Amino acid sequence: MAIAVLGGAGYIGSHTVYELIDRGFDVVVIDNLQTGHREAVHEKAIFYEGDIRDAKFLDEVFHKEKIEAVIHFAANSLVGESMTNPLKYYDNNVYGTKVLLESMVKNGINKIVFSSTAAVYGEPERIPILETDRTVPTNTYGETKLAMEKMFRWVDLAHGVKYVSLRYFNACGAHISGKIGEAHNPETHLIPLVLQVPLHKRECIKIFGEDYDTKDGTCVRDYIHVTDLADAHILAVKYLMDGNESNVFNLGNGVGFTVKEVIASAEKVTGEEISAQTDVRRAGDPAQLVASSEKAKSVLGWKPKFDDLDKIVETAWNWHKNARY
């Protein structure tokens, strides 16, 4: 029996595939390569190129391969783009998940772990954020992820498909081997953009808003290493295999860093001065997002290994200096 990883050529998906293979799982990767990279797919994984909105394609793969559980990363995930092109997000994220669930039910697959996000909370009612806190997304991306979570809940009740929803905070860093890492085109995430300055790919980093109610006026985020996220997916698959009920977990380090602190860390790691410019706030950005991950620690036994921002930025820097794709 194999684990199907949808979006396994993408950033978090490819890192999860590496960890699964390291631990002896058979892995089937499905990816439409719209934002993923063929080179990021582990050589020991079986690869199918196709779109999750294509029901016939999914049915064929699920019929041919013996799939025990699905890990679902195949979605669009850019806050800014989701505000200018919301229907793209409803189509790929919500409609894509509907097609996927239909195919899972049809093919008797009843376990799924999927990528949710801190963006489901919107402007948080308190810091750190608990899973039971209010969910009022401030952007379309978060809204579509919340719609996906709700779809899973009703499909579990009707068809017994058990799910674990993992609400990631800010995924970052790269595999310690340097073989895979973060590569978005266009890049919109803070750490890769900051590192483009010492790589001479951009002149300066723009800071989106310096007038937030935070310690230095810039947004606070909880940066969590991609390999720690990958570990949590494997623990969640095991949790479902052990027959546990559907559940929702936050995944973060529980410590917030401002945009300026991230820039300072990148200066320390690279040994270069990084010039920054103040820009306007980005639509849909809450001032602070910091997780309480106590539930994932106590229920799943999750222990993030990268708890130091400089170490996380160092893995990202090692990747970006010699990126293969």
Which residues carry out catalysis?
141
The identity of residue 114, as a single letter, is F
Quick one: which segment of 1-9, 98-106, 204-212, 312-320 binds ligand UDP (CB under 6 A)?
204-212
Distance, CA of 181 to CA of 175 (rounded, Å): 6
Quick one: which segment of 12-20, 203-211, 227-235, 294-302 binds ligand UDP (CB under 6 A)?
203-211
**In the set 18, 208, 317, 319, which binds ligand UDP (CB under 6 A)?**
208
**In the set 153, 282, 297, 311, which binds ligand UDP (CB under 6 A)?**
282
**In the set 104, 174, 219, 226, which binds ligand UDP (CB under 6 A)?**
219
Instruction: Determine, following the binding rule CB under 6 A, whether residue 89 of this chain makes contact with ligand UDP.
Output: no
Between 58 and 195, CB nearer to ligand UDP: 195
Q: Who contacts 298 (Cβ-Cβ below 8 Å, separation ≥6)? A: none
Handedness of CA 29, 33, 39, 40 (dihedral sign): negative
- Please, which residues bridge with residue 277 across strands? 206
Instruction: Determine, following the binding rule CB under 6 A, whether residue 290 of this chain makes contact with ligand UDP.
Output: no
Residue nearest to ligand UDP as judged by C-beta position:
219
Between 101 and 259, CB nearer to ligand UDP: 259
Between 206 and 305, CB nearer to ligand UDP: 206
Q: Who contacts 219 (Cβ-Cβ below 8 Å, separation ≥6)? A: 208, 209, 212, 258, 259, 285, 286, 287, 288
Residues 138-177 that bind ligand UDP (CB under 6 A): 170
Q: 296-300 long-range contacts, Cβ below 8 Å, gap at least 24?
A: 296/166, 296/232, 296/235, 296/249, 296/250, 296/251, 299/239, 299/247, 299/249, 300/232, 300/235, 300/236, 300/239, 300/249
Quick one: which segment of 92-100, 156-164, 202-210, 267-275 binds ligand UDP (CB under 6 A)?
202-210
Give the closest residue to 305 by CA, choosing from 237, 251, 250, 241. Answer: 251
Instruction: Determine, following the binding rule CB under 6 A, whether residue 190 of this chain makes contact with ligand UDP.
Output: yes
Structure tokens at 155: 């499909």
Give min distance, CB of 280 to ligand UDP, in A.
10
Q: How far is CA 45 from the centre of its chain?
A: 20
Q: x/- string (CB under 6 A) for ligand UDP, residues 245-274?
A: --------------x---------------
Instruction: Determine, following the binding rule CB under 6 A, whether residue 79 of this chain makes contact with ligand UDP.
Output: yes
Instruction: Determine, following the binding rule CB under 6 A, whether residue 114 of this chain makes contact with ligand UDP.
Output: no
Between 70 and 312, CB nearer to ligand UDP: 312
Quick one: which segment of 46-54, 58-66, 104-112, 205-213 binds ligand UDP (CB under 6 A)?
205-213
Q: Who contacts 118 (Cβ-Cβ below 8 Å, separation ≥6)? A: 129, 167, 168, 169, 170, 222, 250, 252, 289, 291
Please tell me the count of residues contacting ligand UDP according to CB under 6 A. 15
Residues 24-63 that bind ligand UDP (CB under 6 A): none
Between 52 and 224, CB nearer to ligand UDP: 224
Distance, CA of 293 to CA of 223 (rounded, Å): 13
Distance, CA of 312 to CA of 176 (rounded, Å): 10
Residues lying near ligand UDP in the complex (CB under 6 A) are found at 79, 170, 188-190, 193, 205-208, 219, 221, 259, 282, 285
